[in-house]
Structure 1
Amino acid sequence: MRTRHSTAARASNGALHTGDTDAAGIEPFDDVSEHDAPNHVDHVDRANGVRGMNGASLASPLASPDNDSHHEPLSPDDPLAPLPFNPYKGNRGVTRAWHAMKNSLAGFRVAIREESAFRQELTLAAILIPCGVLVPVDPVSRVLLLGSVMLVLIVELLNSSVEAAIDRISLERHELSRRAKDLGSAAVMVALGMCVMTWVLIVGPLVVRWVKAWL
């Protein structure tokens, strides 16, 4: 009895609903919006960033530069991703300069103690730099003489840092490790060649003139 009553009730409600719909003259799925009233669907579509009723393509708020909360997080490999926090980079101003100077002096001490090539080049620089200061040449030539010597030391320090980084990663023999160290040695050789060429072209004529005058 309860099942029949429920079925009859649903049929009665359906009849009433159909009658109300027929009385209004509107089908259940007809568009009830008026021509003069604002289109609610179009308004919702514009808010959701989809194509509206007039067929125009509407911009999505996800594409707005102001709405950054919906953007996907950048991967660590993305160049625009923020760098990870480094606790050793927190110094600013005079404190940063002081720590940088201490680290630089520590680097010089390590290079002198551990790198025989740097010691040899530093000895050569101790001879050539006073000669470059005392030789009677114009200021531009003097800068070239001194700069070529300093360039050798700079490249040697960079080469030593590359070798230390490679040894920190692994001490095993690897083709890429050997290539990196060979490239650093090639850079040092180029710097040495540039230094020799500069001194020969600038100081060489002066030495020849002095030798001829002495003979």
Structure 2
Amino acid sequence: MKPHRQSLYKAFGCALRGIVTAVKTERNMKIHMAAALIVLIAAALLHLDRMSWLFLILAIAIVFIAELMNTAIEAVVDLISPQKHVLARLAKDTAAGAALVAAAFAVMVGLLVFYQPVWEWIQSMTN
């Protein structure tokens, strides 16, 4: 029997629904969205070069991907193991750890990308 394949349009719709649901329901996704917006506005205001934009967008994407995967893993674990179990906790904590590592990476990228332009902007304000 041939597996059922949904249309590309429906597949994109499902993916977008998952992203929207995560943004609406997950506190950390809201925080990441706000942080990403602030970072992108700052990058535009400081007229960062293409390479800096690349690193910022990559870091933002990694954080979003990690947080979406964390949300998916938590949902599956809750479905499969509604009762408390040591392995359920391990799966959830590990997924949350991956999201934390991604966020820490993004902060490091932000510090490296923004340090010099912000320092130069501060210097120009004091002169």
Name the TM-score, length of structure 2 as normaliser: 0.89
Alignment of 1:24-103 (within 5 A): 86=3, 89-91=4-6, 96-103=7-14
Q: CA deviation at 1:186?
A: 0.8
Q: Which residue of 2 aligns with 1:204?
A: 115
Specify whether residues 183 and 85 from structure 1 end up closer, same or farther in structure 2 by C-alpha distance, changes over 3 A only: farther
Q: Which residue of 2 aligns with 1:112?
A: 23
Secondary structure of 2:98's counterpart equals helix
Q: CA deviation at 1:134?
A: 4.1
Q: Is the 8 A contact 1:112 1:119 kept in 2?
A: yes
Name the TM-score, length of structure 1 as normaliser: 0.54
Q: CA deviation at 1:109?
A: 2.5
Gaps of 5+ in 2: none
> Deviations 1:123-161 (Å, cap 9, x if unpaired)?
212222232344333312210012111211111001000
> Deviations 1:82-113 (Å, cap 9, x if unpaired)?
xx864xx323xxxx210111101211222123
Identity of aligned residues (%): 28
Specify whether residues 153 and 102 from structure 1 end up closer, same or farther in structure 2 by C-alpha distance, changes over 3 A only: same
Alignment of 1:127-142 (within 5 A): 127-142=38-53
> Deviations 1:25-68 (Å, cap 9, x if unpaired)?
xxxxxxxxxxxxxxxxxxxxxxxxxxxxxxxxxxxxxxxxxxxx
Specify whether residues 129 and 137 from structure 1 end up closer, same or farther in structure 2 by C-alpha distance, changes over 3 A only: closer
| Letter matched to residue 8 of structure 2 | A
Gaps of 5+ in 1: 1-83
Q: Over alpha carbons, which structure has the higher Rg?
A: 1
Specify whether residues 133 and 104 from structure 1 end up closer, same or farther in structure 2 by C-alpha distance, changes over 3 A only: farther
Q: Which residue of 2 aligns with 1:173?
A: 84
Instruction: State the alpha-carbon separation in 2 of the partners of residues 85 and 119 from structure 1.
Output: 40
19, 27, 33: which is aligned to 1:122?
A: 33
Q: Is the 8 A contact 1:132 1:146 kept in 2?
A: no
Task: State the structure with bigger RCO (CA 8 A, min sep 6), 1 or 2.
Answer: 2
| Letter matched to residue 37 of structure 2 | A
Q: Is the 8 A contact 1:129 1:149 kept in 2?
A: no
